């Protein structure tokens, strides 16, 4: 009696004989981290998740000062902090140069897919004997609960702006003193928990070096205080969606200038330029700056005792409640989309401090929808 092997069966048999533990049921589609944690049965699977740190013990995952390239932890959200919701991934030597966190700390918060055996590692739900890694360029979009932005569906222009204003105006307000401690959390250096990252210069500086002396860091109002005359009053003057750590000297150099391309180099701020009426930060945060400005223009509409903050396409606005240059800020936002640091900052502000969000980080497309 003749026997006929189906092609898929023949391929599976050959792969098994060669030592590849691949089965059609789990190799076709990547599974979530939570599914992988519940399926610790020695099967082979591809798991997709966000890199949240390096496991160093059964209940310890570090997010900075990575000791080596031997392991990483995955979760279904980049903001996950509970080790019980993490999958510990052993990194074989062939993949350490590309996916080890000591060599690649920038992978923190990015989305990757790993194929390997679902089995305990560090006596914890894990994945070992990995045969493939991919990804690393996509950051967690962060929680974007549909009900948070309820009422924006189908809206554009002034209608969308008005709907977002109503949503994000529901917030907890901080005092100006509270801003110091908040910034130490929102802008913490992901590679050094003792430091913060200065927005314009990009310098990592000790949290304890806050103050007003040269080489200290202080609280920069990205929407300059004089552009609306709100000072440091609770409200726009203390809104940490646009307050960032910055070197005292660089903060002074920016002053209340509008934003535009061009100018000459700014001391102690590599990649920054300025002239008599405008300032440009380093390229890596130009989109961040733009989205902070867009947030302020939507949040503060003149209905809460403060000026109606608006964008225009000018520079040299001085003390007017306007800031520019709109066309440049839109270009900056498009060229520098939200990254993992910016998304995490938005989530920390939402979950720990003000309990409102910057909608242009969650939905970058709304910039063009409001300011076409």
The 3-class secondary structure across 181-240, one letter per residue, is HHHHHHCEECCEEEEEECCCCCCEEEHHHECCCCCCEEEEECCCCCCCCCCCCCCHHHCC
Q: Which pair of tokens denotes residue 311?
A: 């964008």
Pairing of strands 87-90, 126-139: parallel
Q: In sequence order, what E strands does the chain have?
A: 44-57, 60-62, 71-75, 87-90, 110-118, 126-139, 188-189, 192-197, 204-206, 217-221, 243-247, 258-259, 264-266, 269-274, 278-280, 310-311, 322-323
Q: Calculate mean pLDDT across residues 266-280.
A: 97
Q: Calculate mean pLDDT across residues 237-266.
A: 97
Residue 120 CB: number of other CB atoms within 10 A?
Answer: 14
- At residue 80, the pLDDT reads 83
Cα gap 204→199, rounded to integer Å: 10
Residue 313 CB: number of other CB atoms within 10 A?
Answer: 13
Assess whether pLDDT exceeds 50 at residue 5. Answer: no
Q: Calculate mean pLDDT across residues 26-43.
A: 82
Assess whether pLDDT exceeds 80 at residue 17. Answer: no
Whether residue 122 contacts residue 84, with contact meaning beta carbons closer than 8 Å, is answered with no
Residues 6+ apart with CB under 8 A from 175: 234, 238
Assess whether pLDDT exceeds 80 at residue 143. Answer: no
Mean pLDDT of the chain: 89
**Of 238, 190, 198, which Cα lies nearest the Cα of 218?**
198
Cα gap 81→86, rounded to integer Å: 8
Which residues are registered as beta bridge partners of 308?
A: 301
Contacts 24+ apart (CB under 8 A), 276-281: 277/315, 277/316, 278/315, 278/316, 278/325, 279/253, 279/254, 279/255, 281/199, 281/200
Q: Calculate mean pLDDT across residues 182-193.
A: 95
Pairing of strands 204-206, 188-189: unpaired
Count Cα atoms within 13 angstroms, Cβ side, for 257: 21
- At residue 142, the pLDDT reads 47
Q: Which pair of tokens denotes residue 186?
A: 């929102």
DSSP class of 36: H
Peptide bond into 158 cis (omega under 30): no
Whether residue 200 contacts residue 222, with contact meaning beta carbons closer than 8 Å, is answered with no
Our CA angle for 153, 157, 162, nearest 5°, is 70
Which phi and psi angles does 360 have, rounded to 5°? -80, -10
The rounded Cα 137 to chain-centroid distance in angstroms is 13
Q: Calculate mean pLDDT across residues 82-98.
A: 94
Whether residue 347 contacts residue 230, with contact meaning beta carbons closer than 8 Å, is answered with no
Over residues 279-335, the pLDDT tens digits come to 999 999 999 999 999 999 999 999 989 999 999 999 999 888 999 999 999 999 999
DSSP class of 151: T
- Buried/exposed code over 325-341 (b: 16+ C-beta within 10 A; e: otherwise): bbebbbebbeebebbbb
The torsion region of residue 355 among left (phi > 0), alpha (psi -120 to 50) and beta comes to left
Cα gap 192→194, rounded to integer Å: 5
State the greatest distance between any 2 C-alpha atoms of the chain, in Å, as a whole number.
Answer: 93
Q: Calculate mean pLDDT across residues 56-65.
A: 92
Which residues are registered as beta bridge partners of 307?
A: none
Q: Which pair of tokens denotes residue 28?
A: 């076709």
Of the pLDDT bands very low, low, confident and very high (cuts 50, 70, 90), residue 106 is: confident
Of the pLDDT bands very low, low, confident and very high (cuts 50, 70, 90), residue 137 is: low
pTM over 0.85: no
């Amino acid at each position: 009696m003749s026997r006929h092997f189906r092609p898929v069966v023949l391929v599976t048999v050959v792969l098994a004989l060669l030592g590849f533990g691949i089965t059609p049921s789990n190799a076709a589609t990547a599974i979530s981290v939570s599914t992988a944690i519940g399926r610790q049965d020695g099967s082979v699977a591809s798991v997709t998740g966000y890199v949240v740190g390096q496991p160093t013990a059964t209940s310890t995952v570090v997010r900075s000062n990575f000791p080596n390239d031997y392991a990483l932890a995955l979760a279904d959200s980049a903001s996950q902090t509970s080790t019980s919701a993490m999958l510990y991934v052993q990194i074989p030597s062939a993949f350490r140069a590309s996916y080890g966190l000591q060599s690649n700390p920038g992978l923190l918060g990015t989305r990757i897919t790993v194929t390997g055996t679902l089995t305990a590692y560090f006596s914890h739900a894990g994945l070992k004997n990995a045969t493939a890694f991919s990804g690393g360029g996509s950051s967690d979009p962060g929680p974007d609960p549909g009900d948070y932005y309820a009422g924006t569906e189908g809206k554009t222009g002034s209608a969308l702006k008005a709907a977002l204003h109503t949503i994000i105006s529901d917030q907890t307000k901080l005092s100006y003193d509270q801003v110091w401690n908040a910034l130490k959390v929102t802008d913490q250096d992901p590679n050094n928990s003792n430091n913060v990252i200065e927005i314009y210069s990009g310098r990592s500086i000790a949290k304890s070096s806050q103050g007003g002396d040269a080489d200290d860091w202080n609280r920069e109002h990205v929407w300059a205080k004089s552009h609306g005359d709100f000072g440091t009053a609770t409200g726009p003057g203390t809104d940490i969606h646009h307050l960032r750590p910055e070197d005292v000297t660089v903060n002074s150099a920016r002053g209340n200038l509008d934003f535009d391309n061009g100018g000459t180099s700014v001391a102690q701020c590599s990649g920054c330029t300025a002239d008599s009426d405008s300032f440009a930060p380093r390229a890596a945060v130009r989109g961040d700056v733009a989205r902070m400005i867009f947030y302020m223009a939507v949040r503060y509409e003149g209905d809460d005792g403060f000026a109606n903050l608006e964008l225009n396409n000018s520079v040299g606005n001085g003390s007017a409640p306007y800031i520019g240059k709109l066309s440049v800020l839109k270009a900056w936002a498009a060229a520098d989309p939200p990254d993992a640091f910016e998304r995490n900052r938005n989530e920390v502000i939402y979950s720990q401090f003000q309990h409102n969000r910057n909608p242009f980080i969650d939905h970058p497309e709304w910039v063009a929808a409001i300011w076409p």
